[in-house]
Amino acid sequence: MLGRLVAILTFSRRTGSLTGPAKVIDGDTIVVAGQLVRLHGIDAPELDQTFWWRGQKLVCGTMALAALEAITAGVKVRCKVVERDRHGRLVAKVFAPDGVDVGRRLVSAGWALAYRRYSTDYVDAEDEARKAKRGMWRGSFLKPWVWRASSPPRGTPTPSRIVPISGPRR
């Protein structure tokens, strides 16, 4: 059995593809066959990123994660590897069993943006989502790369991130 598994994984590496159930990490990152995979050509909001809609501050990062989970739940996805990024993750176009491009679906739904810095594959889908006011486009938000650049590094305490442990001191 182990020999067969090694042969399958070796074959997959040679063809530049992975197939299997997806474990969603955030709105543009999954784990497939034990490999961390970043979806090619898109940038989704970070998990704690927010947007404003109808006077309410909503967490678009968790909404993007939920959208990716909904697309990949209970199915085996196919990842066509494009490259490895500077963080060591595989970057891949990801497809659902029905052939749907998962990145395109997220951008079309308004829960991710075309990441023009790396690809123009989904610019048309983003334009369509913006015009139709889908997902984040129905409110106001910072583009994920702008939000990351303007936010403190993760783990840095800020007044809005500090939660009192025992209530106010007297």
Would residue 105 show up in a list of annotated catalytic residues for this protein? Answer: no
Residues 137 and 132: their CA atoms lie apart, in Å, by 8
Structural domain of 46: 16-143
Q: What local confidence, expressed as pLDDT, does residue 167 receive? A: 34
Residue that the structure tokens 């990949």 belong to: 72
R_g of the chain computed on alpha carbons: 18
Query: What is the pTM assigned to this prediction?
Result: 0.80
Residues 137 and 63: their CA atoms lie apart, in Å, by 13
Say if 1 falls within a structural domain: no
Catalytic option among 38, 78, 104, 105: 38
Q: What local confidence, expressed as pLDDT, does residue 158 receive? A: 41
Q: What local confidence, expressed as pLDDT, does residue 2 receive? A: 46
Tens-digit pLDDT profile for the chain (170 aa)? 444 444 344 335 555 899 999 999 999 999 999 999 999 999 999 999 999 989 999 999 999 999 999 999 999 999 999 999 998 899 999 999 999 999 999 999 999 999 999 999 999 999 999 999 999 999 999 999 999 998 766 654 443 433 333 333 33
Would residue 38 show up in a list of annotated catalytic residues for this protein? Answer: yes
Say if 108 falls within a structural domain: yes
Catalytic option among 89, 116, 130, 148: 89
Give me the CATH number covering residue 105: 2.40.50.90
Say if 93 falls within a structural domain: yes
Say if 160 falls within a structural domain: no
Would residue 83 show up in a list of annotated catalytic residues for this protein? Answer: no
Catalytic option among 13, 14, 46, 148: 46
Say if 118 falls within a structural domain: yes
Say if 10 falls within a structural domain: no
**DSSP string spanning the chain?**
-HHHHHHHHHHHHHHTEEEEEEEEEETTEEEETTEEEEETTEEPPPTT-EEEETTEEEEHHHHHHHHHHHHHTTSEEEEEEEEE-TTS-EEEEEE-TTS-BHHHHHHHTTSSEE-TTT--TTHHHHHHHHHHT-GGGGSB---HHHHHHHSPPTT---GGG---SS----
Say if 75 falls within a structural domain: yes
For the chain, the domain total comes to 1
Residues 93 and 80: their CA atoms lie apart, in Å, by 5
